[in-house]
C-alpha cells in the first residue's frame, strides 16, 4: 500500500506498507542485513558497508548503494541508524544522486496482534531546484522501488529458514603468471568476449558514468543451446574488482550476483577469482528439471554451469595476461 503524506511543500513524504506473515524480529534482520540486499531486493545492484553497526545493539552505519531507478543505475552514500529494540531503521542519503537533492526515511517493523509483522517504509525527498519534472521522476522511482522492495521482503521473510536452503555461494580461482592490470582489462572489456570466449555467442554492452556497464549476453551451453541474461556491472578500477547482478536469470534461479577479484600475490603472479551467489527458485527448478527434481540436483547443475563458464573465462583472461607479459 502506498500513501502520499505531503504534497504541499518542496519536501515530499510518502508511506508504503505491507503485512508479512513472519515474526517481526526476522523481518527486521532482513532489512538490517545489507549484504543480502542484492539477492532480496530487485532494484539493489550492490551495497558496500563503509562503517558498520553492532547487529545486537544497533548504532550508526554508513553505506554506499547502487540501485536501478527509471532504467538507470544511481549510486549514493547513506547513513542509517539501527535500533533493534524498537525494530526501526532511520536512513538519510549523505551524498544523493541527482536529480535527488535530499532523501531520507525510515523502516518500521511493527508487531501485529497475531505475532506477525507490518512493515512501514517512509520516504521524504526533495528534487534539485524543486523541479516539477524531477519531482515526478523521483516519485515514480520511490513508488516503484518501494513496492518492489516490500513485496520481495515479504517473500523472503515468509520463506523463513527454507530461504537459506535456496541460497548458495561458491568461487573458482585461477593463478596467473601475468600482470593484474591485464587480467582486469580482459574482464572489463566484456564487449570483446564474443571474439575471445567460445561460450559467449553475443554480447551487447552499454556504459554509464561511474564505471557502470549494462550487458545483454547470449551464452552457449555444451549442448549448443543459447541462454540469454542481462546484467549490470560496477567496475572498481582502483582495486581491480568487478561486481555484477543479473537482472534476467535462468528459469531455475530467482537471483544471481557475483564479482571478479584480482589479487597480486607479490611473486609475479596474480590470483583471479570469480564469486557467485545464487538464490534458487523452487518452482523454476521443477519447471526446468522436472517435478521430481531436488534442490541438490539444481545446486549441482548451477554450480557446474556457472563454474564452468567462470573457469573458462578465467583461463582465457590468464592466457591473455601471460601472453601480454611475454611480449614485453
Q: Take residue 278 and report the three cell numbers written for it.
A: 545464487
Q: How far apart are CA 263 and CA 46, in angstroms?
A: 20
pLDDT at 189: 97
Q: What is the 3-state secondary structure (H, E, C) of the chain?
A: CEEEEECCCCCEEEEEEEEECCCHHHHHHHHHCHHHHHHHCCCEEEEEEEECCECCCEEEEEEEEEEEECCEEEEEEEEEEEECCCCEEEEEEEECCCCEEEEEEEEEEEECCCCCEEEEEEEEEEEHHHCHHHHHHHHHHHHHHHHHHHHHHHHHHHHCCHHHHHEEEEEEEEEECCCHHHHHHHHHCHHHHHHHCCCEEEEEEEEECCCEEEEEEEEECCCCCEEEEEEEEEEECCCCEEEEEEEECCCCEEEEEEEEEEEECCCCCEEEEEEEEEEECHHHHHHHHCCCCCHHHHHHHHHHHHHHHHHHHHHHHHHHHHHHHHCC
Q: How confident is the model at residue 165, as a pLDDT? A: 87
Burial of 175 (0-12, 13-18, 19+ CB in 10 A): exposed
User: What domains are defined for the chain?
Assistant: 2-160 (3.30.530.20), 165-326 (3.30.530.20)
Segment 292-303 mean pLDDT:
92
Confidence of residue 211 (pLDDT cuts 50, 70, 90): very high
pLDDT at 298: 93
Taking CB atoms within 8 Å and a gap of at least 24, the contacts of 228-234 are: 232/45, 232/66, 232/68, 232/73, 233/190, 234/45, 234/46, 234/66, 234/73, 234/75, 234/210
**pLDDT tens by residue, 43-95:** 899 999 999 999 889 999 999 999 988 788 999 999 999 999 999 999 999 98
289 burial via Cβ count (<10 Å: 0-12, 13-18, 19+): middle
Residue 3: predicted pLDDT: 60
The pLDDT tens digits for 163-194 are 778 999 999 999 999 999 999 999 999 999 99
pLDDT band at residue 7 under the 50/70/90 scheme: low
Give the per-residue pLDDT at 244. Answer: 98
pLDDT, average across residues 293-297: 91
For residue range 104-138, list pLDDT tens digits in order. Answer: 999 999 999 999 999 999 999 999 999 999 999 99
Asked if pLDDT for residue 263 goes beyond 70, the answer is: yes
Query: Do 280 and 294 form a contact (C-beta atoms < 8 A)?
Result: no
Mean pLDDT of the chain: 92
Report which listed range, 9-13, 71-75, 85-89, 292-296, is most confident: 85-89
User: pLDDT tens for residues 217-253?
Assistant: 999 888 888 989 999 999 999 999 999 999 988 888 9
Task: Output the pLDDT for position 102.
Answer: 94
Cα–Cα distance measured from residue 275 to residue 17, given in angstroms and rounded to the nearest whole number: 34
Cell reading at 291: 517435478
Amino acid at each position: 500500500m502506498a500513501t502520499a503524506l505531503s504534497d504541499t511543500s518542496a519536501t515530499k513524504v510518502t508511506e508504503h506498507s505491507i503485512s508479512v506473515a513472519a515474526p517481526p524480529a526476522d523481518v527486521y534482520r532482513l532489512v538490517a542485513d545489507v549484504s543480502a540486499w542484492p539477492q532480496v531486493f530487485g532494484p539493489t545492484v550492490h551495497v558496500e558497508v563503509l562503517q558498520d553497526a553492532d547487529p545486537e545493539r544497533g548504532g550508526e552505519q554508513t553505506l554506499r548503494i547502487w540501485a536501478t531507478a527509471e532504467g538507470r543505475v544511481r549510486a549514493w552514500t547513506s547513513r542509517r541508524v539501527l535500533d533493534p529494540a524498537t525494530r526501526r531503521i532511520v536512513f538519510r542519503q549523505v551524498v544523493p544522486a541527482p536529480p535527488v537533492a535530499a532523501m531520507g526515511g525510515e523502516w518500521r517493523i511493527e508487531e501485529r496482534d497475531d505475532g506477525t509483522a507490518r512493515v512501514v517504509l517512509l520516504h521524504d525527498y526533495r528534487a534539485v531546484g524543486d523541479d516539477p519534472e524531477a519531482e515526478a521522476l523521483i516519485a515514480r522511482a520511490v513508488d516503484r522501488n518501494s513496492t518492489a522492495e516490500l513485496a520481495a521482503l515479504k517473500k523472503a521473510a515468509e520463506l523463513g529458514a527454507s530461504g537459506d536452503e535456496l541460497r548458495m555461494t561458491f568461487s573458482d580461482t585461477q593463478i596467473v603468471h601475468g600482470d593484474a592490470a591485464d587480467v582486469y582489462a580482459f574482464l572489463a572489456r566484456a564487449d570483446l568476449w564474443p571474439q575471445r570466449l567460445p561460450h559467449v555467442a553475443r554480447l551487447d554492452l552499454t556504459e554509464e558514468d561511474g564505471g557502470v556497464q549494462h550487458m545483454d549476453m547470449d551464452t552457449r551451453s555444451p549442448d549448443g543451446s543459447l541462454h540469454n541474461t542481462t546484467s549490470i556491472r560496477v567496475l572498481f578500477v582502483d582495486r581491480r574488482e568487478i561486481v555484477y547482478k543479473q537482472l534476467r536469470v535462468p528459469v531455475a534461479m530467482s537471483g544471481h550476483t557475483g564479482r571478479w577479484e584480482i589479487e597480486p600475490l607479490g611473486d609475479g603472479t596474480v590470483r583471479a577469482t570469480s564469486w557467485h551467489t545464487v538464490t534458487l527458485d523452487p518452482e523454476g527448478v521443477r519447471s526446468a528439471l522436472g517435478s521430481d527434481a531436488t534442490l541438490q540436483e539444481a545446486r549441482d547443475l548451477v554450480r557446474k554451469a556457472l563454474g564452468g563458464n567462470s573457469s573458462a573465462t578465467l583461463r582465457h583472461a590468464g592466457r591473455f595476461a601471460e601472453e601480454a607479459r611475454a611480449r614485453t
